[in-house]
Structure 1
Amino acid sequence: MARSNRREAGRRRLAMRLPQMRKLIMAACEPLQLELFEAYQMAVEARDTLRGQPFNSKLVRESDETCFEIEQHVIRAIQEPSFAQRTR
């Protein structure tokens, strides 16, 4: 999947996952936010691939945790304008 497609897929997925922030997510355009959208999509794709394989419950759990952590970063990046400046 191309980078811009991955970003937009991650954006849409996060908008569904975090409905209270949907409008802000859809309007986001900061580079850090876009990178987080892409990272989220990649993490979800990896998790979904692992879910389809037997005996990977530990890896699926770790992938779920990664997805959750990225969600928390997205929330901070959108709610706190200074968060983007601190992470650069």
Structure 2
Amino acid sequence: MAELNALLPEFKALNIDVFTASVDPEAKAKIQLDEVQPGFDVGVALSLVQMQMRGLYISHPRSPEEHDRPFAEPGLFVINAESAIQIIDISNAPFTRPD
């Protein structure tokens, strides 16, 4: 989120809105949100059904330290001005996040 936040002025100059979503519950997400102070909206507590509806890969934690519930691997969706999907990038591993 910090990298995305740093790029936000460039997106705004191009009239691009940014929104992110996380499966983290609100209390857990708030820790990162307080640290990053994103200049864009962030949805939290994405449900398993919502992850599935978006076609995201769903992983299960390998340890309690990793996560306490199934979580989505990264997905990027670009919607154009006509509300049509322009780009979809769905990853099946966390290290393949788009820059």
**TM-score > 0.5 by shorter chain:** no
Structure number having the greater strand percentage = 2
Q: Which has the larger radius of gyration?
A: 2
Structure number having the greater helix percentage = 1
- Using the size of structure 1 for normalisation, the TM-score is 0.25
Which structure has more RCO (C-alpha within 8 Å, separation ≥ 6)? 1
